[in-house]
Structure 1
Amino acid sequence: MNNQEKTVKLAVNGGIGFGAKLNAKQLLSLAKYIKEDSEIELTTFQQLYIDVLESQVEKVKEEFEKVGLAVYPVGAYVKSLRTCNFCKGAEEEGMPVAIELNRRIAGKEVPWPLRPSYTGCPNACGEPLINDIGVIKRREHYDLYIGGKAKGKDAKTGTLLIEQLTPEQLYEVVEKIITIYAEQGKKREPFFKFINRYGFENIKNSIA
């Protein structure tokens, strides 16, 4: 009989800030839970995947959060917000809005991993147009794109859903879209396929 304790995979990053960075305290905290023969997976979504013992999950989360690490579930959930490097400062690039949007949506259960992305200016360094949900800040307002796909022969940029949103309107609309997908999407149905089946116009009408 195998009594080896199960492990749980956690997605970890340094939170929403000036680029994907980790400080010394965060690295030391991570190192405590990484075996010498283990590997850490760095995803394209600015997350590190690590395996921890099931019995230690809550302890690990608490310790990580104390040093500023954000912890998210792995699997069919909304990923943490991918961002640009916020090259012109927190207020100008809308970092507070990115942080709040991430707080509201990251970790929500959906039919298939959903990748939201945010960029603080029209340069779109955060690649919002090739992710499931993309936000571009234009001056004091926000344009919202959906349905981008980065890989495969059917790769495409997202379609503009609504523009010139205030921060509160942005939060509300993105949360509505995720709710529609969570309730109407089929199991293991990627978001771009859901849009094709459910209908772009139906989504647009549902958030009006």
Structure 2
Amino acid sequence: MEQKEKTVKLAINGGISFGSKLNAKQLAVIAEYLTDGDELELTTFQQLYIAVAESKVELIKEKFKEAGLSCYPVGNFVKSLRTCNFCKGEEEEGMPVAIELNKRIAGKEVPFTLRPAYTGCPVGCGEPLVNDIGVMKIGDGYDLYMGGSAKGKTAQIGTLIMEQLTPNELYETVEKAVNIYAEHGKKRETFFRFINRYGIESLKSELIS
């Protein structure tokens, strides 16, 4: 009996842009690596999960990249940035900042899956207040929230950590928070529980030091 080749699960999306969308070219290249009976899993975090042959992972990643698809690891890593639909345009909604922030943190290994979210205005379509790390663009600055949770009886809105950050301040602060969590979080400890144990004030003091 022929042994079935081992597969690896990849998380893919169309990159950080105006909402969560795929074009015809991207759909076509994804379909190339699906056989009868295969399924795509659509997650709540604007990603698709696809299982691909382990021996072809790097080749497939390159093909996806050529089509404009972004690939991320599945498991205990920082998820790609969840975004809103950016209804008012690239510069006004802070699209370049969202893209850069995603580039800096997505795919980093952490104790448990970490979900960051971004929204370009106070309406909050990207749901930044109920995710692990949330960014909300207010005027020309960026407000940063941490410790939100959307699940179960412990659901809560994140704590406002800093207000009116510049893009560089935002990048540095979020990267520092992810690194603190990676270093001090316990295995499979969610970011929400980590903050409760570590202390929000302790975390804030380290982030501003």
* Shorter-chain TM-score above 0.5: yes
Partner of 1:189: 189
Partner of 2:5: 5
Aligned 1:1-208 pairs, distance under 5 A: 3-208=3-208
Q: In the comparison of the two structures, how many residue pairs are matched?
A: 208
Q: Which amino acid aligns with 2:160?
A: L
Give the alignment's TM-score, normalised by structure 1: 0.99
Quote the Cα distance in structure 1 between the aligned partners of 2:34 and 2:46. 19
> Any idea what SS the aligned residue of 2:37 has?
coil
Q: Which amino acid aligns with 2:28?
A: L
Q: Which amino acid aligns with 2:87?
A: C
Q: Which structure 1 segments of 5+ residues have no match?
A: none
Q: Which amino acid aligns with 1:93?
A: E
Post-superposition CA distance 1:145-191 (Å, at most 9, x none)? 00000010110110101111000000000000000000000000000
Deviation at 1:2, TM superposition (A): 6.9
- Note the aligned Cα RMSD (angstroms): 0.9
Instruction: Evaluate the alpha carbon distance shift between residue 21 and residue 176 of structure 1 in structure 2; reply closer, same or farther with a 3 A threshold.
Output: same
Q: Which structure 2 segments of 5+ residues have no match?
A: none
Post-superposition CA distance 1:38-60 (Å, at most 9, x none)? 11100000000000000010000
Give the alignment's TM-score, normalised by structure 2: 0.98
> Any idea what SS the aligned residue of 1:169 has?
helix
Deviation at 1:26, TM superposition (A): 0.1
> Any idea what SS the aligned residue of 2:163 has?
strand
Post-superposition CA distance 1:71-120 (Å, at most 9, x none)? 00000000000000000000000000000000000000000000000000
Quote the Cα distance in structure 1 between the aligned partners of 2:118 and 2:193. 21
Q: Which amino acid aligns with 2:113?
A: P
Deviation at 1:35, TM superposition (A): 1.5
Q: Which amino acid aligns with 2:5?
A: E
Deviation at 1:3, TM superposition (A): 3.1
Identical counterparts, % of pairs: 69
Quote the Cα distance in structure 2 between the aligned partners of 1:8 and 1:31. 16
